[in-house]
């Protein structure tokens, strides 16, 4: 581990000390017995005597915790979720929204501004300022209550890390003793770094980096003198002085800080006037803001929480790079929303649409939309809902036939009535239009989505073989090996279908589909790396033959509404009762599944088909998503060796 990395790790660990240790509680009980009489006596001895007396107390109270344990604590830090290009999608945290930074990454203006208003003698005292304590005592004595703290930066750090916010004599004594011990162990810059990263800046924002990003939309290292002074002025009452709430009050606090800096001769008169005159451009409150792609971030956080735990996600400062392209995600979301209102008139026939787009070359999920409106329903139908795929399952059957070595796209199959024994009953499949076409090629049967040939083909190659192929290319949902399986009698998720078709598009090369490309901890160490590891799991010739046939589905079959002006392959899916309709299709660079239906399983209406309802949505999305992608042709089956 490098010295910089070691220092960074140690710095993060010492920021998250427990609020109250058992030792501190026991000590408070002991010191509480001393009472106000002891404090008054010490104060009357004068500031120098106060300092000496407190040193004596520090030596006497040996049951206080060793402040060196601060080096072993890990701070609570916000986790961030990004798209594949590094665009921020969401931040994840509990109460404390914090990003920790090194001391060198904090602008000197901010360091001076904070010290000017909070502890201008910071670099000359040993953790306590006897004169400040004396002034605070007199003010409190005159008021008859605790109205002034007199705390140094080090004492404030102790309070934030170890103690409760109540103002009592006993707690103040503990604060003093621990502050002196911290000053003996840590360098001044280390203490100030801990303080600036720990202190509360308002609106659930902790630490200078997160505060600077929230108040001024910039990093702490880039703050101007004017911005630094305004931030420093917030510490005593962050929400009360917040420029988001009362800008004039914040400007008044800024002027107070700047005047104090001038009084200390830390800035020149010219710098004072320039800072007061500088226009302040505010950012926005960043804590608990909504995700830019909520269906994406929900799915990502669910997966990572299962792997790393909830606390690690909310406090571990993880940097999560997803596979999603935010631009494509927005196209997908807009397509789903626009299509819903354009085609279904506010829910007259269907109340939900789901869409998933997968890159066949990596099996990275590029876009995922789990419903029409996340605000009204957070259910992610793209990954959480299993629906019958109907005829969209038939490519699994045809691939099995081609891979068996006994069939080609031009093989003949008889589209005629057939009945199979099914336990104590009989199963008689029928075509969607109730007609029969006699002897036809497999190409024709799939292009026109004939049911009887699919069932016959399933029996010929074996239902268990079809199930095995589905499992090989990522179908994890339960599949019963029944006679009707070729017609999509099982229930799958849109993500499963999109990923499976992506494998066909890539001529049998498969990687586990994922929404997460990489996860790093707060120190930049990679803790999860989903670099694709493709494996050839299907026969390339059979995959290319299937793709060749599926192109005809779009050019002259049941999905002419899916034509996008470039080579594309795909398959419609419609259940017998018109409850679920699909279109799943692909080009070499992108495979996309679209599902349309109702959450309550109501039928979409007589005549509803995947070609009529889902294919136009797929077409609209693909045209926009591929606008900047070059046109690519599929490889022909002749380029591969037949099984």
The CATH number that applies at residue 252 is 1.10.3810.10
Say if 323 falls within a structural domain: no
- The one catalytic residue among 170, 287, 291, 391: 391
pLDDT of 10 over the 50 cut:
no
Q: At what angle do helices 269-277 and 225-232 cross, to 10 degrees?
A: 80
Say if 491 falls within a structural domain: yes
Whether residues 183 and 244 fall in one domain: no
pLDDT of 476 over the 70 cut:
yes
pLDDT of 567 over the 80 cut:
yes
Whether residues 421 and 461 fall in one domain: yes
Whether residues 339 and 466 fall in one domain: yes
The CATH number that applies at residue 370 is 3.40.710.10
Average pLDDT over every residue of 540-557: 98
Question: How far is Cα 148 from Cα 128, in angstroms, rounded to an integer?
Answer: 15
In degrees and rounded to multiples of 5, residue 516 shows phi and psi of: -120, 120
Say if 90 falls within a structural domain: no
Which pLDDT does position 140 carry in this prediction?
A: 54
Whether residues 126 and 217 fall in one domain: no
Which pLDDT does position 58 carry in this prediction?
A: 44
Whether residues 594 and 510 fall in one domain: yes
Whether residues 128 and 213 fall in one domain: no
pLDDT one-digit tens code per residue, 408-417: 999 999 999 9
Q: Which two tokens stand for residue 605?
A: 């209406």
Whether residues 541 and 461 fall in one domain: yes
pLDDT one-digit tens code per residue, 81-95: 999 999 999 988 877
Q: Which residue has the tokens 């103040």?
A: 172
- The residues with which 352 forms a beta bridge, in sequence order, are 597
Say if 301 falls within a structural domain: no
Q: Are 554 and 610 in contact, with CB atoms under 8 Å apart? A: no
pLDDT one-digit tens code per residue, 275-331: 999 999 999 988 877 899 999 999 999 989 888 888 888 788 899 999 999 999 999
Q: Are 298 and 381 in contact, with CB atoms under 8 Å apart? A: no
Q: Is 625 helix (H, G, I), strand (E, B) or coil?
A: helix
Q: Which two tokens stand for residue 361?
A: 């070359």
The mean pLDDT value of the chain amounts to 86
Considering 130, 160, 195, which residue would you say is the last residue of a domain?
A: 195
- The residue among 214, 196, 195, 218 whose CA lies nearest residue 205 is 214
Query: What is the helix, strand, coil percentage profile of the chain, to 5?
Result: 50, 15, 40
Whether residues 203 and 191 fall in one domain: no
Which pLDDT does position 523 carry in this prediction?
A: 83
Whether residues 63 and 206 fall in one domain: no
- The total of other beta-carbon atoms located within 10 Å of residue 575's CB is 23
Average pLDDT over every residue of 502-531: 95
Whether residues 186 and 208 fall in one domain: no
Say if 308 falls within a structural domain: no
DSSP 466: H
Whether residues 215 and 168 fall in one domain: no
302 catalytic? Reply is no
pLDDT of 51 over the 80 cut:
no
Say if 492 falls within a structural domain: yes
Q: Is the dihedral of CA 410, 416, 420, 425 positive or negative?
A: positive
pLDDT one-digit tens code per residue, 223-239: 999 999 999 999 999 99
Whether residues 134 and 220 fall in one domain: no
- Mean pLDDT is lowest, of 143-152, 307-316, 443-452, 610-619, for 143-152
The CATH number that applies at residue 44 is 1.10.3810
Considering 171, 195, 219, which residue would you say is the last residue of a domain?
A: 195
pLDDT of 240 over the 50 cut:
yes
Q: At what angle do helices 494-505 and 540-556 cross, to 10 degrees?
A: 110
- The one catalytic residue among 79, 91, 99, 118: 118
Instruction: Convert 78-95 to b/e letters by CB count within 10 Å (16 or more is b).
Output: bbbbbbbeeeebbbbbee
Total structural domains within the chain: 3
Q: What is the CA radius of gyration of the chain?
A: 34
- Full residue range of the structural domain in which residue 609 is found: 332-639
Say if 310 falls within a structural domain: no
Considering 195, 214, 248, which residue would you say is the last residue of a domain?
A: 195
Q: Which residue has the tokens 């999860």?
A: 528
pLDDT of 347 over the 70 cut:
no
Question: How far is Cα 91 from Cα 81, in angstroms, rounded to an integer?
Answer: 6
pLDDT tier at 609 (50, 70, 90 boundaries)? Answer: very high
- The residue among 201, 203, 193, 246 whose CA lies nearest residue 228 is 201
pLDDT of 520 over the 90 cut:
yes
496 catalytic? Reply is no
């Amino acid at each position: 581990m490098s010295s910089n990395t070691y220092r960074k790790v140690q710095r993060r660990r010492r920021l998250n000390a427990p609020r109250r240790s058992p030792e501190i509680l026991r000590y408070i009980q002991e010191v509480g017995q001393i009472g106000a009489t002891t404090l008054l006596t010490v104060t009357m001895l004068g500031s120098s005597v106060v300092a000496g007396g407190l040193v004596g107390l520090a030596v006497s109270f040996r049951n206080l915790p060793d402040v060196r344990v601060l080096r072993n604590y890990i701070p609570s830090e916000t986790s961030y979720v990004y798209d594949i290009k590094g665009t921020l999608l969401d931040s994840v945290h509990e109460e404390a929204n914090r990003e920790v930074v090194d001391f060198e990454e904090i602008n000197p203006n901010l360091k001076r501004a904070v010290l000017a208003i909070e502890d201008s003698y910071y670099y000359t005292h040993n953790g306590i300022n006897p004169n400040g304590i004396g002034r605070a005592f007199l003010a409190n004595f005159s008021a008859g209550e605790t109205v002034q703290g007199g705390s140094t930066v080090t004492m404030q750090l102790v309070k934030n890390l170890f103690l409760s916010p109540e103002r009592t004599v006993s707690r103040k004594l503990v604060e003093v003793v621990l502050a002196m011990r911290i000053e003996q162990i840590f360098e001044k810059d280390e203490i100030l770094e801990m303080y600036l990263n720990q202190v509360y800046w308002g609106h659930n924002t902790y630490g200078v980096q997160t505060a600077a990003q929230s108040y001024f939309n910039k990093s702490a290292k880039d703050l101007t003198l004017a911005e630094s002074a305004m931030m420093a002025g917030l510490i005593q009452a962050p929400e009360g002085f917040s420029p988001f709430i009362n800008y004039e009050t914040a400007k008044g606090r800024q002027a107070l800080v700047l005047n104090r800096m001038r009084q200390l001769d830390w800035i020149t008169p010219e710098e004072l006037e320039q800072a007061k005159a500088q226009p302040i451009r505010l950012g926005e409150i960043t804590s608990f803001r909504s995700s830019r792609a909520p269906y994406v971030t929900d799915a990502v956080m669910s997966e990572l929480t299962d792997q790393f735990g909830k606390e690690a996600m909310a406090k571990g400062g993880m940097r999560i790079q997803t596979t999603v392209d935010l631009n494509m995600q927005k196209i997908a979301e807009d397509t789903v929303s626009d299509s819903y209102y354009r085609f279904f008139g506010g829910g007259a026939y269907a109340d939900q649409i789901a869409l998933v787009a997968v890159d066949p070359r990596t099996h990275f999920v590029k876009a995922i939309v789990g419903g029409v409106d996340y605000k009204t329903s957070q259910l992610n139908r793209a990954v959480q809902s299993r629906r019958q795929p109907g005829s969209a399952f038939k490519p699994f059957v045809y691939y099995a036939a081609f891979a068996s070595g006994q069939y080609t796209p031009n093989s003949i199959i008889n589209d005629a009535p057939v009945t199979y024994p099914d336990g104590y009953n009989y199963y008689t499949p029928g075509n969607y239009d109730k007609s029969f076409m006699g002897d036809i090629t497999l190409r024709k049967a799939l292009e026109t989505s004939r049911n009887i040939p699919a069932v016959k083909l399933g029996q010929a190659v074996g239902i268990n073989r079809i199930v095995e192929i589905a499992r090989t290319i990522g179908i994890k949902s339960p599949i019963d090996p029944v006679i009707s399986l070729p017609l999509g009698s099982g229930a799958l998720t849109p993500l499963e279908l999109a990923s499976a078709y992506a494998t066909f598009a890539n001529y049998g090369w498969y990687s586990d589909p994922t929404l997460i490309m990489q996860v790093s901890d707060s120190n930049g160490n990679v803790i999860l790396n989903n670099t694709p590891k493709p494996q050839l799991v299907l026969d390339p010739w059979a995959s290319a033959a299937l793709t060749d046939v599926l192109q005809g589905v779009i050019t002259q079959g049941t999905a002419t509404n899916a034509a996008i002006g470039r080579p594309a392959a795909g398959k419609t899916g419609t259940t017998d009762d018109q409850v679920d309709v699909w279109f799943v299709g692909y080009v070499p660079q992108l495979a996309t599944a679209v599902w349309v239906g109702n959450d309550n399983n109501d039928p979409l209406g007589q005549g509803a088909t995947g070609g009529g309802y889902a294919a136009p949505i797929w077409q609209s999305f693909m045209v926009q998503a591929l606008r900047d992608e070059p046109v690519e042709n599929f490889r022909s089956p002749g380029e591969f060796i037949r099984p």
